[in-house]
């Protein structure tokens, strides 16, 4: 039993190391803007105004929070997404009625989980 447990731990560690070795871009916030840095070249690029960035696991998209003010003067916070190859910003119209937070990508980069709040 102890041997199986040890093998399982070693397997999980090796998967984590391989995944960490393939990460070539990171997203971060500085001064109210979202940046992406290519870790291989060191090049930083400002991609959007926003906060709380989450880069997809395949490194092709960044989801982030965007704060605004609605027509009734209430604060809004929506999730937007940037396609890094094209710079296209995607807004999710179906989420505009909610306060949205905490975007997190699935391991295959096909799904985005987030928290929604509505008064």
pLDDT tens-digit profile of 22-58? 668 999 999 999 999 999 999 999 999 999 999 999 9
27 neighbors 62 (Cβ within 8 angstroms): yes
Q: Which domain holds residue 30?
A: 24-117
Task: Give the pTM.
Answer: 0.75
pLDDT of residue 49: 94
**Is residue 111 a part of any domain in this protein?**
yes
- Give buried/exposed letters for 89-115 (b at 16+ CB in 10 A, else e): eeeeeeeeebbbeebebeeeeeebebe
**Lowest mean pLDDT, pick from 9-13, 40-44, 48-52, 64-68:** 9-13
Residue 11: pLDDT over 50? no
Q: Quick one: pLDDT at residue 29?
A: 95
* Helix, strand, or coil (residue 54): strand
Cα-based angle 72, 66, 98 (whole degrees, multiple of 5): 55
Domain-located, residue 2: no
* Type and span of the H or E element at 52: strand 51-55
Task: Domain count for the chain, please give it.
Answer: 1
Is 18 domain-assigned?
Answer: no
- Residue 50 maps to a domain: yes
Strand partners, 80: 64, 91
């Amino acid at each position: 039993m102890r041997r199986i447990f040890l093998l399982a731990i070693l397997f999980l560690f090796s998967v984590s190391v391989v995944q960490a070795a393939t990460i070539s871009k990171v997203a971060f916030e500085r001064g109210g803007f979202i940046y992406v840095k290519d870790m291989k070249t060191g090049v930083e690029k400002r991609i959007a105004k926003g906060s709380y960035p989450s880069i997809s696991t395949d490194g092709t998209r960044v989801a982030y929070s965007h704060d605004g003010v609605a027509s009734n003067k209430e604060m809004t916070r929506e999730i937007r997404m940037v396609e890094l190859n094209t710079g296209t910003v995607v807004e999710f119209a179906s989420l505009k009625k909610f306060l949205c937070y905490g975007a997190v990508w699935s391991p295959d980069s096909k799904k985005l989980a987030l928290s929604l709040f509505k008064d």
